């Protein structure tokens, strides 16, 4: 069989390594074989390719940039201050992530880390393997996720970028496109990629929308959002593509203009009605703005066009769960199970839904499945939830053990610390309880519960000053928490008597 | 006396000229000012009132900052979408224009303005159906509608400094008034110039008053009011006017010109006379003056903002104070005025008495001579020579000169020599032995400070005086001359006032028609008699003798005194006019002036300026180079800044972990990197400056090419040039400049 044909076949079957091997042999025989060269470039790219649209994580250092125009925009127009949304259950019902946003039903880049207020806080935020944010968007996780530049190749790199004459390649579209993707994805050398793209777009007299989108991708990585925006808009004028709309929205989100992003999604939907990526993007934006009613309605639209969309199902399920409809949530989670999603998280959620829907016979079964499937990180959450169930049925010993197990799996679990504190307090171990509360609120300053518990305990112990401070922190984290406010009022009254 | 109805302090610096006010939510007015570090702040105290509670003016928490991250060069708020009540905010930086909806926190559009953004105005212009945001940059004017589409593009003579929309010719549509650095105020009906007024300095501000009336301010401290192309009044101050605004402060139904000065003074002047009707003082320079319903009570206030962020709001005068805002005492004023008049009259009376004395003295001499029996020893006594020689009289005090003394003035072209540059010479002489003690010439735009005084030392006084004049531009100027005439020993002088007009093309001397011809030429056709053209030549050039056409062909040559080489003017019997000069500006000036004189509404010309075109080609090549370099530099810089960011985080990590050694290492690296970045920035800065000046040159060539045509052809040339530049079609550009059509 013709080796090149075989290589092509491997490439199509995504057996990139075999493809690369054959191409290497071909190139050894004839170093000027363009077909083999291109194929090898594409195969190497394919090995590490990650879709740019979904890789969106703001690095810690990006906080130093002021890409956002309005520092304090009107509530409901910014992603930075989720503010008061529509149809969101209160913090007391649906827990918040560190960014002040309710927990989402689907883990996406940027949903966990949140955006703490200051640089120092961002750096201090524990950066373990599961909560880490990349240092900058140009380094860190990009290098890990989608590039091979960290891997060492035995006989030097395939293409030596420093020796490449970009203007020669730029005039050959068949080579240039493959080469660009190689530089961008495989080498992760944005600067050279940008140079090549700039030359290539000039070589085709600015008539190829593809190059404009690639330019925009480079600009986006370099943090030059305005230039990216310009290129994308120009590309859209030439050729309307779903990808381009999505990139443009990404830029808008970075500029913190969610309403503009929604506007662009709507424009995209006019051209591509029923495009689920656009609909899902819109739903994510609304979710980010805490506008749950709109978010859920768009997730439902997504399901109308693609009833296998895991993200939509999961988010709707979470919404129902937290709005006190565990039975409905259960229906959605079961749908996920039918579709073949089979993991610890799902069983954990199913278990919780069963518990709240009073199907006790199923509850522990589900959790058992979850435990058998889970890894260390998820196990801690599963144990925590079992502890919760134990609390619900009044089995304090079991609960205590569960929370202990949680900490054994993940010693940074603030909720577990908090609950342990409460349990210790019930047993009368005041000092232990204080230590647990303190541990909880140091790890998770965004949770109001440990602050309030600490304040209430200090108040009882007579340490009014710490009580006052903690109560204030609780109110900061959850402005509408009645008990904290009540406590604060009492303390103020007390102080004024002195 | 009017007192501020509210005062507040932003505690932020405010950039001069960059103050605007808008109703971003469609209801409440918000002051918007640009401040340092590329930020714009918006003051909206009204949100709090909505939340309930008393509305008090303070600044805590009412300011929201917008980060523009570039130096802000202009701000303007206005309605771009006629269907929505909300105002939007346009922010200009030296390279971009951002149009931003504050209420929704969304960009309407973000455009590159490579020519810079010196001034922005938002509103309807001419027949364009939608409101547009007009941006004035270096030599260019651009207008964008709400979607960011370019609806207007044209060029103007120099960097634009100020813009205003005024219904200049009372046709119910707005015209655009543009003040630029070449001292000209131009009026555009869409992209066509309909009027041009020349001022004496850079026009820093323009504002609309009523109907076709508008106020202006110059960088030398002049403010004034124009009605259409005619100036009503102007005053000059040693301070600079920072902001002007038309507002009816004294409730008399016509707006006054409110001026904010660089020394912190704010005054209101009547629009007809320029008389001050109100004034107030800030401790610092004024940054801007706007009007708006700030207290939400249905009346518009005048709001003045100082550079230190102090704000004062004034309500228009109430009924009882109408027309009288100054707390002046009428009686005292009248007494002062009357005593002044009395003093003047007394002085006049004394002069008359002296004259009578002289008269009686002379007549007694005459009588005594007559008695002596027919003129013997003394000279003749006549009305001309009031004082016969030999008659002792104290002439020094009198300053009397013969009644028939006349002042002769001549304007000639002096080609200069080694010691003197070429100039126009104003020759002033008296008709007898009286001397010219001093001359005071007042003329706009020729002398620095508009007036020129010549007073030679007493030793070199004579009855003749020569004043060199070098007009910097080819514009007709009225010279208002005041000459002090008297005798050498006089203590008082007679003042002769006269006005001479300096013709438009005075700096050109007639020369031999055989001088080598310039390479460039401009050819066009007029259907007019040659006499008319001759008349124009005679009126507009300084000629010793009037020109005549020989054999039905007109052929004259001039030499520029400014060193721009020869200028040849030829006209044949068929009405074809050829202007040969290497100076494109000059050719344009001649075409414009001639077309105005001959009442030509539209005029198409064919031009050939090989030198200018070669220069343009070079500039365009340079622009391409600069742009390529710029892109590369920008990418490099962005890459470096990414590196810097990660270094900061690493160094801070080390600090938080108490690892001082690594932290130190990190920061040293960071420092070096930063120095690299700063150097790179300097290179980029220079590159940008070069690019800017190259782009300006391109715009200027287009403007010159436009000036070589008149009326619709002019607009057509400019638009075609713009299209060619947009498509990067250099050859088409040259062809358009040459033939006037694509």
- By a Cβ cutoff of 8 Å, what residues of chain B touch chain A? 64-69, 96, 98, 100, 102-107, 110, 112, 631-632, 634-636, 638-639, 641-642, 645-646, 648-650, 652-653, 656
* Contacting residues of B for A69, CB less than 8 Å apart: 66-68, 98, 100, 105, 107
Determine the residue among B28, B96, B105, B640 to mutate to test chain A binding: the one whose Cβ has the most chain A Cβ atoms within 10 Å: B105
Answer whether A419 touches B (CB < 8 Å).
no
Nearest-CA neighbor of B526 among B426, B449, B596, B455? B596
Per-residue confidence (pLDDT) for residue B325, from 0 to 100: 58
- Cβ <8 Å between B652 and A119: yes
Q: Do B656 and A124 touch (CB under 8 A)?
A: yes
Q: Is residue A126 part of a domain?
A: no
Does the pLDDT value for residue A435 go beyond 90?
A: yes
Residue A430 pLDDT level (bands cut at 50, 70, 90):
very high
> What is the model's pLDDT at position B323?
54
Asked if the C-beta of A266 comes within 8 angstroms of chain B's C-beta atoms, the answer is no
pLDDT exceeds cutoff 60 at B352: yes
Question: What are the angstrom distances between the C-alpha of A306 and each of A114, A243, A264?
Answer: 29, 18, 21
B104, B649, B650 ranked by CB distance to A259: nearest: B104
Calpha distance A51→A45 (Å, rounded): 12
Q: What is the ipTM, given to two decimal places?
A: 0.77
* A229 vs B: CB within 8 A: yes
**pTM for the structure as a whole:** 0.79
User: B199 versus B416: which is more confidently predicted?
Assistant: B199
* Residue from the list A68, A74, A198 with its beta carbon closest to the beta carbon of B631: A198
- What number of CA atoms fall less than 13 Å from residue A243's CA on the CB side? 12
Instruction: Answer yes or no: do B106 and A263 touch at CB < 8 A.
Output: yes
Contacts of B640 in chain A (CB under 8 A): none
Residues of chain B with Cβ-Cβ distance to A230 below 8 Å are 110, 112
pLDDT reading at A475 higher than 80: yes
Residue A10: per-residue pLDDT:
94
What is the per-residue burial (b if ≥16 Cβ within 10 Å, else e) of A431-442? Answer: eebbebbebbbe
Backbone torsions φ then ψ of B116, nearest 5 degrees: 85, 170
Residue A340: how many CB atoms within 10 A of its CB?
Answer: 8
Query: What is the per-residue pLDDT across A451-461, written as a single tens digit (0 to 9) for each?
Result: 999 999 999 99
Residue A491 is assigned to a structural domain of this protein:
yes
pLDDT at res. A123? 61
**Mean pLDDT estimate for chain A:** 83
**Inter-chain contact B105–A59, Cβ cutoff 8 Å?**
no
Q: Find where tokens 């960009």 sit.
A: B107
- Cross-chain Cβ contact A77/B106 below 8 Å: yes
pLDDT above 50 (res B385):
no
- Long-range pairs of B293-299 with CB within 8 A, sequence gap ≥ 24: B293/B29, B294/B6, B294/B21, B294/B29, B294/B31, B295/B5, B295/B6, B296/B28, B296/B29, B296/B46, B296/B49
Query: Does residue A235 lie within any of the structural domains?
Result: no
pLDDT confidence tier of residue A154, bands split at 50, 70 and 90: low
Q: Is B601 helix (H, G, I), strand (E, B) or coil?
A: coil
Report A:87-146 residues touching B (Cβ under 8 A).
119-120, 123-124, 135-140
| Alpha-carbon gap: B635 to the closest alpha carbon of chain A (Å) | 6
Q: Could you tell me which chain B residue has the CA closest to the CA of A127?
A: B653
Question: Is the model's pLDDT at B57 over the cut of 60?
Answer: no
For testing contact with chain B, the best of A60, A66, A68, A69 (most B CBs within 10 A): A69
Nearest CB to A226 within list B110, B639, B646: B110
| Residues of chain A contacting residue B632, judged by C-beta atoms under 8 Å apart | 195
Give the helix ranges, DSSP H, for B27-162.
46-51
Q: What is the 3-state secondary structure (H, E, C) of A291-344?
A: CHHHHHHHHHHHHHHCCCCHHHHHHHHHHHHHCCCHHHHHHHHHHHHHCCCCCH
Tokens in use for B265?
């003074």
Residue B677, min C-alpha distance to chain A (Å): 15
B112/chain A closest Cα distance in angstroms: 9
Statement: residue B53 has pLDDT above 70:
no
Query: What's the half-sphere exposure (Cβ side, CA atoms, 13 Å) at A291?
Result: 18
Nearest-angstrom CA–CA distance, A227 and B88: 23
User: Are the Cβ atoms of B107 and A61 closer than 8 angstroms?
Assistant: no
At A110, the pLDDT band (50, 70, 90 cuts) reads low
- Note whether A70 contacts B: Cβ–Cβ < 8 A: yes
pLDDT (average), residues B478-504: 83
What is the nearest CA distance from B64 to chain A, expressed in angstroms? 6
**Confidence band for A109, pLDDT divided at 50, 70 and 90:** low
Q: Would the CB atoms of A138 and B631 count as touching at under 8 Å?
A: no
Give the integer Cα–Cα distance in Å for B330 and A286.
68
Q: Tell me which chain A residue has its CA closest to the CA of residue B64.
A: A72
In a domain, A397, yes or no: no
Burial class (CB in 10 A: 0-12, 13-18, 19+), A313: buried
Burial of A429: CB neighbours in 10 Å, binned 0-12, 13-18, 19+: middle
Cα nearest neighbour of B651 on chain A: A123
Q: Give the number of domains in chain A.
A: 2
The CA distance from B419 to B94, in Å, is 44
Most confident by average pLDDT, A96-100, A236-240, B506-510: A236-240
Q: Is B645 in contact with A61 (Cβ distance < 8 A)?
A: yes
CB neighbours of B139 closer than 8 A, spacing ≥ 6? Answer: B115, B155, B156, B157, B158, B159, B160, B696, B699, B700, B703
Pick the closest to residue B14 from B283, B263, B309, B260 (CA basis): B309
Confidence at residue A283, expressed as pLDDT on a 0 to 100 scale? 92
Among the ranges given (A288-297, B357-366, B537-546, B685-694), the one the predictor scored with the smallest mean pLDDT: B357-366
First and final CA of chain B: distance in angstroms? Answer: 63
In A, which residues are within 8 Å of B105 by CB distance?
Answer: 69-70, 73-74, 77-78, 256-259
Of B100, B636, B642, the CB nearest to A138: B642
Q: Is residue A4 part of a domain?
A: yes
pLDDT at A120: 61
The confidence score (pLDDT) of residue A469 equals 92
**B112/A123 Cβ within 8 A:** no
- Domain range for residue A8? 1-34
pLDDT, greater one: B319 or B328: B319
* DSSP letter string, B437-454: EEEEEE-TTTSTTSEEEE
Asked whether B484 and B494 are in contact (CB, 8 A), the reply is yes
Cα separation, B114 vs B631, whole angstroms: 14
Is A195's Cβ below 8 Å from some Cβ in B? yes
The size of the A-B interface in CB pairs under 8 A is 105
CATH code: domain of residue A420: 1.25.40.10
Q: Considering chain A, what percentage of its residues have pLDDT values greater than 90?
A: 45
A282-338 pLDDT, tens per residue? 998 888 888 888 999 999 999 999 989 999 999 999 999 988 899 999 999 999 999
A463: CB partners within 8 A, 6+ apart: none
Q: Is residue A449 situated within a structural domain?
A: yes
Q: Is the pLDDT of residue B49 over 50?
A: no
**Residue B366: pLDDT over 60:** yes
pLDDT band at B95 (very low <50, low <70, confident <90, very high): confident
Does A26 reside within a domain? Answer: yes
Q: Is residue A130's pLDDT more than 80?
A: no
Residues of A in contact with B69 (CB under 8 A): 66-67
Is it the case that residue B487 has pLDDT exceeding 60? yes
Domain membership of residue A392 (yes or no) is no
> Is the pLDDT reported for residue B108 higher than 70?
yes
| pLDDT exceeds 80 at position B158 | yes
Distance to chain B for A329, nearest Cα, Å:
34
pLDDT at residue B21 is higher than 70: yes
Q: Do B642 and A139 touch (CB under 8 A)?
A: yes
Q: Which of B44, B106, B666 to mutate to test the interface with A (most CBs of A within 10 A)?
A: B106
Q: Where are the beta strands (DSSP E) in B512-658?
A: 521-525, 554-560, 566-571, 576-580, 605-608
pLDDT at B392: 46
Contact status of A187 with chain B (Cβ, < 8 Å): no
Residue A186 confidence (pLDDT): 83
Is A69's CB within 8 Å of B67's CB? yes
Mean pLDDT of all residues in chain B? 83
- Nearest CA distance, B725 vs chain A (angstrom): 14
């Amino acid at each position: 069989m013709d080796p090149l044909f075989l290589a092509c076949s491997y490439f199509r079957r995504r057996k990139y390594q075999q493809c690369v091997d054959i191409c290497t042999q071909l190139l050894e025989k004839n170093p000027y074989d363009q077909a083999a060269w291109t194929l090898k470039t594409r195969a190497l790219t394919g090995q590490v390719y990650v879709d740019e649209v979904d890789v969106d994580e703001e690095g810690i250092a990006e906080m130093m940039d002021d890409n956002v125009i309005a520092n304090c925009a009107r509530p409901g127009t910014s992603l930075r201050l989720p503010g008061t949304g529509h149809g969101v259950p209160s913090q007391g019902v649906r827990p918040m992530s560190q960014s002040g946003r309710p927990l989402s039903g689907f883990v996406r880049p940027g949903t966990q880390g949140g955006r703490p207020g200051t640089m120092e806080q961002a750096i201090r935020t524990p950066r373990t393997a599961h909560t880490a944010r990349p240092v900058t968007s140009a380094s860190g996780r990009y290098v890990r996720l989608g590039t091979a530049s960290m891997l060492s190749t035995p006989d030097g790199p395939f293409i030596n970028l420093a020796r490449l004459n970009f203007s020669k390649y730029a005039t050959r579209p068949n080579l240039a496109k493959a080469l660009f993707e190689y530089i961008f994805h495989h080498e992760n050398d944005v600067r050279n990629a940008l140079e090549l793209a700039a030359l290539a777009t000039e070589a085709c007299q600015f008539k190829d929308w593809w190059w404009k989108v690639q330019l925009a991708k480079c600009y986006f990585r370099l943090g030059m959002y305005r230039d990216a925006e310009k290129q994308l808009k120009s590309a859209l004028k030439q050729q309307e593509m779903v990808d381009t709309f999505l990139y443009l929205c990404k830029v808008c989100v970075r500029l913190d203009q969610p309403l503009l992003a929604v506007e662009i999604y709507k424009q995209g939907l006019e051209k591509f009605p029923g495009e689920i990526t656009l609909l899902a993007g819109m739903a994510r934006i609304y979710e980010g703005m805490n506008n749950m009613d709109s978010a859920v309605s768009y997730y439902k639209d997504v399901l109308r066009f693609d009833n296998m969309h895991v993200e939509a199902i999961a988010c709707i399920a979470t919404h129902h769960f937290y709005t006190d409809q565990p039975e409905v949530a259960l229906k959605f989670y079961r749908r996920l199970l039918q579709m073949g999603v089979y993991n610890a998280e799902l069983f954990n959620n199913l278990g919780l839904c069963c518990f709240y829907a009073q199907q006790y016979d199923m509850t522990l079964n589900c959790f058992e499945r979850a435990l058998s499937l889970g890894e260390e990180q998820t196990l801690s959450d599963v144990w925590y939830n079992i502890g919760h169930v134990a609390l619900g049925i009044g089995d304090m010993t079991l609960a205590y053990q569960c929370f202990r197990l949680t900490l054994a799996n993940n010693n940074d679990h603030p909720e577990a610390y908090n609950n342990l504190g409460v349990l210790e307090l019930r047993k009368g171990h005041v000092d232990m309880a204080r230590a647990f509360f303190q541990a909880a609120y140091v790890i998770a300053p965004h949770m109001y519960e440990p602050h309030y518990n600490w304040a209430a305990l200090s108040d009882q112990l007579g340490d009014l000053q710490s009580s006052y401070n903690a109560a204030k922190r609780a109110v900061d984290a959850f402005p509408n928490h009645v008990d904290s406010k009540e406590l604060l009022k009492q303390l103020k009254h007390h102080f004024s008597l002195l | 006396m009017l007192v501020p109805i509210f005062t507040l302090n932003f505690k932020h610096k405010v950039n001069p000229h960059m103050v605007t006010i808008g109703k971003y939510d469609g209801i409440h007015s918000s002051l918007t000012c640009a401040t340092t570090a590329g930020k714009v702040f918006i003051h909206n105290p009204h949100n709090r009132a909505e939340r309930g509670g008393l509305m008090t003016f303070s600044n805590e928490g009412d300011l929201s900052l917008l980060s523009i991250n570039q130096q802000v060069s202009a701000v303007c708020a206005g309605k771009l979408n006629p269907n929505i009540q909300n105002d939007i905010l346009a922010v200009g930086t030296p390279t971009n224009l951002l149009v931003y909806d504050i209420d929704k926190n969304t960009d309407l559009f973000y455009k590159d303005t490579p020519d810079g953004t010196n001034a922005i105005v938002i509103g309807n212009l001419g027949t364009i159906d939608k409101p547009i945001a007009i941006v004035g940059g270096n030599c260019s004017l651009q207008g964008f509608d709400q979607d960011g589409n370019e609806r207007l593009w044209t060029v103007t003579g120099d960097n634009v400094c100020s813009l205003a929309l005024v219904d200049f010719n009372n046709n119910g549509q707005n015209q655009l008034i543009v003040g630029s650095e070449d001292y000209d105020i131009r009026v555009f009906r869409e992209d066509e110039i309909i009027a041009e007024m020349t001022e004496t300095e850079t026009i820093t501000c323009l504002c609309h008053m009523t109907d076709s009336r508008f106020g202006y301010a110059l960088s030398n401290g002049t403010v004034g009011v124009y009605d259409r192309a005619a100036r009503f009044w102007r005053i000059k101050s040693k301070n600079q006017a920072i902001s002007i605004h038309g507002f009816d402060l004294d409730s008399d139904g016509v707006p006054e010109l409110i001026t904010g000065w660089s020394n912190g003074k704010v005054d209101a002047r009547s629009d007809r006379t320029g008389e001050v009707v109100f004034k107030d003082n800030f401790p610092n320079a004024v940054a801007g003056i706007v009007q708006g319903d700030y207290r939400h009570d249905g009346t518009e206030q005048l709001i003045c903002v100082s550079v230190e962020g102090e704000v004062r709001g004034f309500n228009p005068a109430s009924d009882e104070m109408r027309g009288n805002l100054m707390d002046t005492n009428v009686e005292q004023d009248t007494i002062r005025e009357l005593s002044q008049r009395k003093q003047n009259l007394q002085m006049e009376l004394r002069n008359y008495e002296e004259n009578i004395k002289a008269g009686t003295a002379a007549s007694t001499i005459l009588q005594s001579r007559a008695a002596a029996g027919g003129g013997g020893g003394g000279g003749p006594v006549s009305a001309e020579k009031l004082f016969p020689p030999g008659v002792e009289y104290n002439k020094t005090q009198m300053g009397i000169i013969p009644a028939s003394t006349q002042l002769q003035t001549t304007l000639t072209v002096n080609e200069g020599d080694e010691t003197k540059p070429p100039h126009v010479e104003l020759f002033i002489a008296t008709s007898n032995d009286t001397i010219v003690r001093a001359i005071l010439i007042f003329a706009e735009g020729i002398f620095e400070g508009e007036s020129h005084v010549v007073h030679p030392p007493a030793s070199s006084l004579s009855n003749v005086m020569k004043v060199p004049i070098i007009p910097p531009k080819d514009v007709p100027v009225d010279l208002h001359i005041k000459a002090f005439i008297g005798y050498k020993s006089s203590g008082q002088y007679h003042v002769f006032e006269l006005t001479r007009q300096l013709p438009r093309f005075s700096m050109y001397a007639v020369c031999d028609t055989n001088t080598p011809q310039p390479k460039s030429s401009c050819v066009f056709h007029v259907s007019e008699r040659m006499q008319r053209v001759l008349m124009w030549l005679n009126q507009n050039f300084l000629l010793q003798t009037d020109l005549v056409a020989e054999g039905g062909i007109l052929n004259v040559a001039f030499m520029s005194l400014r060193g721009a080489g020869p200028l040849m003017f030829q006209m044949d019997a068929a009405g074809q006019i050829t202007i040969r000069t290497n100076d494109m500006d000059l050719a344009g000036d001649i075409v414009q002036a001639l077309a105005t004189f001959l009442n030509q509404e539209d005029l198409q010309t064919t031009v050939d300026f090989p030198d200018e075109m070669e220069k343009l080609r070079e500039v365009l090549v340079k622009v391409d180079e600069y742009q390529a370099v710029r892109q590369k530099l920008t990418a490099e810089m962005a890459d470096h800044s990414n590196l810097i960011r990660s270094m900061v985080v690493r160094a801070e990590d080390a600090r938080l972990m108490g690892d001082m050694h690594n932290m130190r290492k990190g920061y040293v690296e960071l420092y070096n990197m930063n120095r690299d970045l700063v150097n790179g920035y300097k290179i980029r800065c220079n590159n940008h400056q070069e690019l800017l000046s190259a782009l300006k040159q391109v715009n200027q060539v287009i403007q010159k090419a436009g000036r070589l045509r008149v009326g619709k052809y002019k607009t057509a040339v400019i638009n075609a040039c713009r299209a060619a530049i947009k498509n990067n079609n250099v050859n088409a550009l040259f062809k358009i400049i040459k033939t006037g059509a694509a």
